[in-house]
Amino acid sequence: MGIKLTQGSTVGTPRDDAYTIRGWEDYVRERDRAWAAAASLGQPVVSCTPTGADSAKVKHETMKLAYVTGPYRADCLSGVVQNIRHAEAVALELWRMGYAVMCPHMNTALFDGAAPDEVFLTGYLVILRRCDLLVLTPGWAKSAGCQGEREEACERSIPVYRWPEEYAELRKNA
């Protein structure tokens, strides 16, 4: 069973009576605004196509799996969407560096109420255990879920990086 979204369809959430999917063009405009906002906050955004030395790093045998964590919940739907977009911008940059990326924000975006929160939180800990590193995005310390993911990573000796503070190290280790 899945959810089919088409232009103009409506998905209800506990935080809002209805969230209207306005179409792909609107999504792309919102995403691009989020990327621009990330860049204005000093979060690096680079070319999407790996070239030269970067393209050589994109090899199946050596690609590391990065898990992106940051706040998801917010007081309103627009806050949730903003948190999703921030995580998306970090995930995209990690892909550009040559990592394979698990971004829970994108994986279950706006699934609020589809299952109990504990199902998602437990499931993501299972996924995190299979990852090579954890990337903490700004605001992570205010999220109980992020704190739990960080504790899990530390207990399992999974390297933990802070975004954007450790950008250079992440780029070097890709």
- Residue 100 reports pLDDT greater than 90: yes
Residue 2 in domain: no
| CATH code where residue 60 lies | 3.40.50.10400
The verdict on whether omega for the bond into residue 138 sits within 30 degrees of 0, i.e. cis, is: no
Give how many domains the chain has, as a whole number.
Answer: 1
Q: How far is CA 31 from CA 10, 37, 39, 87, 89, in A?
A: 20, 10, 12, 11, 8
Residue 79 in domain: yes
- Residue 125 reports pLDDT greater than 70: yes
pLDDT in tens, 51-92: 455 555 445 568 999 999 999 999 998 999 999 999 999 999
Residue 150 in domain: yes
CB atoms within 10 A of CB 107: 12
pLDDT at 33: 72
Sort residue 55 into left (φ over 0), alpha (ψ -120 to 50) or beta: alpha
The domain of 116 spans: 10-173
pLDDT in tens, 21-48: 444 556 566 667 766 666 666 655 543 4
Residue 69 in domain: yes
Residue 5 in domain: no
Residue 160 in domain: yes
pLDDT at 97: 94
Residue 14 in domain: yes
E strand or H helix at 90, and its extent?
A: helix 77-97
Residue 143 in domain: yes
